[in-house]
């Protein structure tokens, strides 16, 4: 379950998943998605072929039955039934059409205010894009503190709010020196 991974209930599994995500994102920073996908598939095939050949070698030495080590996964049913697949497809097509309708409405200026807000969003995103690469934002989002820190923050929210208020108060009292040649206000 995703919640178990996010809340680190099983630290070993969460660490493996987080490491896999981080390695993939860091790889995408330096290589194209085609290269990362190809190398990932080659690594997986290298591992599975090695295990299969190892089992065959043990069979040749008469120390194993030579069965496919992945037979349980090959025999397992796919997790989605036909009804679930149809339901997911219907939901995806409904969401896709709703998004397409909204984008059409915004780009073709059906409502001027909404289109201006949308343009302002992209204007702000140009500044974010100038500072951060999209993959950097993904890494920052995925590589933040573990959820246990967030849970701790929730427990001490009153104290944190008190100190944040003190910092804001100090910053509001901070006065910057006037620039040379600038006129002083009232």
Residue 150, pLDDT above cutoff 70? no
b/e code 138-147 from CB counts within 10 Å (16+ = b): bbeeeeeeee
24-79 tens-digit pLDDT? 888 888 877 778 888 888 888 899 999 888 888 888 888 878 788 888 888 888 78
Which range among 48-57, 101-110, 156-165 shows the weakest confidence by mean pLDDT? 156-165
Are 31 and 135 spatial neighbours (Cβ–Cβ below 8 Å)? Answer: no
pLDDT at 181: 54
Question: Of the candidates 101, 127, 126, which has an alpha carbon nearest to the alpha carbon of residue 114?
Answer: 101
Global confidence as pTM: 0.49
CB distance 61 to 182 below 8 Å: no
């Amino acid at each position: 379950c995703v919640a178990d991974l996010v809340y680190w209930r099983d630290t070993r599994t969460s660490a493996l998943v987080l490491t896999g995500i981080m390695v993939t994102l860091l790889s995408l920073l330096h290589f194209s998605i085609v290269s990362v996908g190809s190398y990932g598939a080659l690594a997986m095939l290298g591992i599975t072929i090695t295990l299969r050949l190892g089992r065959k070698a043990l069979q040749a030495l008469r120390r194993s039955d030579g069965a496919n080590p992945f037979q349980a996964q090959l025999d397992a049913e796919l997790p989605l039934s036909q009804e679930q697949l149809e339901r997911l497809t219907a939901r995806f097509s409904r969401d896709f059409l709703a998004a397409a309708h909204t984008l059409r409405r915004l780009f073709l200026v059906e409502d001027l205010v909404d289109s201006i807000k949308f343009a302002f969003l992209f204007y702000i995103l140009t500044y974010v894009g100038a500072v951060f690469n999209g993959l950097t934002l993904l890494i920052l989002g995925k590589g933040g503190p573990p959820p246990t820190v967030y849970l701790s923050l929730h427990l001490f929210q009153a104290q944190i709010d008190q100190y944040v208020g003190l910092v804001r108060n100090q910053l509001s009292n901070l006065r910057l020196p006037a620039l040379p040649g600038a006129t002083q206000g009232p």
